[in-house]
Amino acid sequence: DNGDDSKHASTTPLSKWKTDVQNHWDKITTVLETIEAVPCQTTNPNTKQTFNRWRARVKLADGKYAILGTYEESAEDALFHYTFCELSYEDSSTNTRTICRKRNVLSVEVLTELMSKIGNVSWDPKTQRDVANSDEANLNPDSPPYMWMKALLEEDGMVDVFRHMYPEAEGRFTCWHQQKNRRYVNEGGRI
């Protein structure tokens, strides 16, 4: 043995989604430097009432624009999911600063959108599930909602009865994001 540990290094190839991210992340971050919030107007099809909204827009390498996200109430809301800075808040009852999102953490939904619209890589639902179930998906374990749920499940000894009884079940949601009308595409969570 000459002390060269390279022979012992893992030769397991990266999964396709990890390779996709590795191949396109620099392009995505470069394009995101052009992000801006643009005003737009929506119309209720039933009442014809109009609403002033905002969308996020980026300029692609070919000079064309891509719209990101959904219609939002403010410019800040339109840009929120595409800035990956650390977010925190001051808890007035304890006078402590709590990190609610670590730096460079984003949702699978946003990553999928960025890969599609900027990287030109489409991920099917199985790939998105692989991303969500990967070891890397737990990058924000300090977030208050995660810590609260972990405390309920682990410290208090509670279990998700449905998940326990039906571990392979999918698409059994009781809560949908109504603002985005996700009930009709069966995307949501179970409470």
Q: Are residues 130 and 168 in the same domain?
A: no
Residues 34, 149 contacting (CB under 8 angstroms): no
Please give the distance of CA 35 from its chain centroid, rounded to a whole number: 17
Structural domain boundaries enclosing 115: 10-158
Average per-residue pLDDT for the chain: 85
Q: Tell whether 5 is covered by a domain.
A: no
Q: Indicate whether 47 belongs to any domain.
A: yes
- Whether 142 and 172 map to the same domain: the answer is no
| pLDDT tens figures, 90-106 | 988 889 888 888 888 88
64 C-beta neighbours (distance < 10 Å), count:
8
The verdict on 125 and 34 lying in the same domain is yes
Same domain for 53 and 35: yes
Number of domains in the chain: 2
**Cα–Cα distance between 114 and 68 in angstroms, integer?**
8
Mean pLDDT of the 13-28 span: 93
Pairing of β 96-101 and β 175-176 = unpaired
What does the pLDDT read at residue 140?
Answer: 62
